[in-house]
């Protein structure tokens, strides 16, 4: 009985929190219309030196994203460390992005995914109240299912927290362990009348099954009148391999916004039939920029570039992620400068990796 009361009390507290943050459910803010194609940036989260949430960096990050050419921001995703955040922290971070995003014409997708459905619904409701353009969720990743009927019903329940918003399915099988054919999920959603996904939603496709991605693209293209509102966004590397798999082109998952310029040039080269130019851009990213970041620790080094780009100190990442060696900052800046990273100059002849 005590345990039941505790869970009920927790749900009430969370509901009250959403009410206050939503100004007692007053007026829902208007979201930015979906761009086509979408250039999606998964934002990092800024932490203080003692690993507390620091939303003061969000306006700087939003301005930088727009400056790089990004038109879509994925908030509270994997790169943001949503799995390390409390519900209250996720509400605060989402609210900060939703407050500033429209000023830069950014389409904001808020990831509400968690294994606790009641919390996901609260996060979704809060996102809708504060003007999110869409919500997203991972599948249940502890008690997993590959049964599409069960999964569609689970997604529908999560999305019911924001019934008027599109839902993006966050396909991340390498992390969630849920490796399904997403094309089959889209069809199952349509068959079930789950329009938030199958008619107006989308997929953040972070899997490696190109055939499944092609099937998703073909599924959309087969009935654009009915499914044209669905955006299936390609994330794997090399990015250029996703271009010929999708017509009409929905866009791409950049991950980091500082790769937007090279992706835009890569796509322009593809559209112009300039294969050498397209390959040079891909080689610059994978053969020059990424090795520099790998030398300095990977993601923790990528977080540091925002200090020079826009003055945003993101602080050390939360455990168990590694911390950047601050004594190497000047070396990181110099090595990135040597490959034209800071001015994003188009590479004339980027060498092949290795």
User: DSSP letter at 237?
Assistant: S
Tokens coding 118: 């009641």
Residue 353 CA to its chain's centroid (Å): 27
Nearest C-alpha neighbor of 260 from the set 64, 34, 61, 69: 69
Please state, in angstroms and rounded to a whole number, the distance separating the CA atoms of residues 87 and 91. Answer: 6
Beta bridge partners, 110, equal 75, 135
Residue 126 — φ and ψ, nearest 5°?
-60, -45
Nearest C-alpha neighbor of 192 from the set 156, 147, 229: 156
Instruction: Output the pTM of the full model.
Output: 0.90
Please state, in angstroms and rounded to a whole number, the distance separating the CA atoms of residues 29 and 36. Answer: 22
Nearest C-alpha neighbor of 289 from the set 347, 220, 207, 203: 347
Q: What is the pLDDT along the chain (354 residues), one digit of tens a residue?
A: 543 444 444 555 455 444 444 443 445 567 789 999 999 999 999 999 999 999 999 999 999 999 999 999 999 999 999 999 999 999 999 999 999 999 999 999 999 999 999 999 999 999 999 999 999 999 999 999 999 999 999 999 999 999 999 999 999 999 999 999 999 999 999 999 999 999 999 999 999 999 999 999 999 999 999 999 999 999 999 999 999 999 999 999 998 999 999 999 999 999 999 999 999 999 999 999 999 999 999 999 999 999 999 999 999 999 999 999 999 999 999 999 999 999 874 444 433 333
């Amino acid at each position: 009985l005590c345990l039941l009361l505790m869970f009920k009390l927790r749900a009430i507290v969370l509901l009250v929190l959403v009410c206050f943050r939503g100004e007692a459910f007053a007026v829902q803010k208007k979201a930015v219309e979906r761009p086509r194609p979408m250039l999606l940036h998964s934002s990092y989260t800024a932490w203080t030196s003692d690993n507390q949430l620091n939303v003061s960096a969000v306006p700087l990050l939003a301005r930088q994203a727009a400056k790089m050419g990004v038109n879509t921001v994925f908030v509270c995703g994997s790169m943001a460390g949503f799995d390390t955040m409390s519900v209250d922290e996720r509400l605060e971070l989402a609210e900060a992005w939703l407050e500033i995003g429209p000023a830069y014409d950014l389409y904001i997708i808020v990831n509400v995914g968690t294994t606790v459905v009641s919390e996901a619904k609260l996060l979704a409701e809060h996102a809708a109240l504060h003007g999110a353009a869409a919500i997203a969720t991972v599948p249940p990743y502890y008690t997993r299912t590959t049964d599409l009927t069960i999964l569609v019903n689970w997604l529908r329940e999560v999305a019911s927290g924001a019934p008027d918003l599109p839902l993006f399915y966050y396909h991340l099988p390498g992390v969630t362990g849920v490796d399904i054919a997403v094309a089959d999920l889209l069809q199952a959603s349509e068959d079930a009348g789950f329009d938030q996904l199958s008619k107006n939603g989308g997929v953040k496709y972070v899997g490696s099954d190109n055939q499944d991605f092609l099937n998703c693209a073909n599924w959309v293209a087969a009935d654009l009148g009915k499914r044209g509102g669905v955006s299936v966004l390609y994330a794997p590397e090399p990015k250029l391999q996703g271009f010929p798999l999708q017509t009409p082109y929905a866009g791409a998952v950049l991950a980091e916004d500082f790769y937007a310029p090279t992706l835009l040039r890569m796509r322009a080269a593809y559209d112009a039939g300039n294969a050498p130019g397209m390959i040079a851009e891909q080689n610059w990213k994978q053969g020059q920029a990424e090795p520099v970041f790998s030398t300095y620790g990977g993601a923790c080094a990528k977080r540091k570039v925002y200090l020079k780009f826009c003055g945003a100190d993101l602080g050390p990442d939360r455990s168990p992620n590694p911390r950047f060696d601050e004594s190497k900052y000047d070396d990181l800046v110099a090595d990135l400068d040597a490959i034209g990273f800071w001015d994003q100059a188009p590479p004339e002849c980027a060498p092949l990796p290795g």
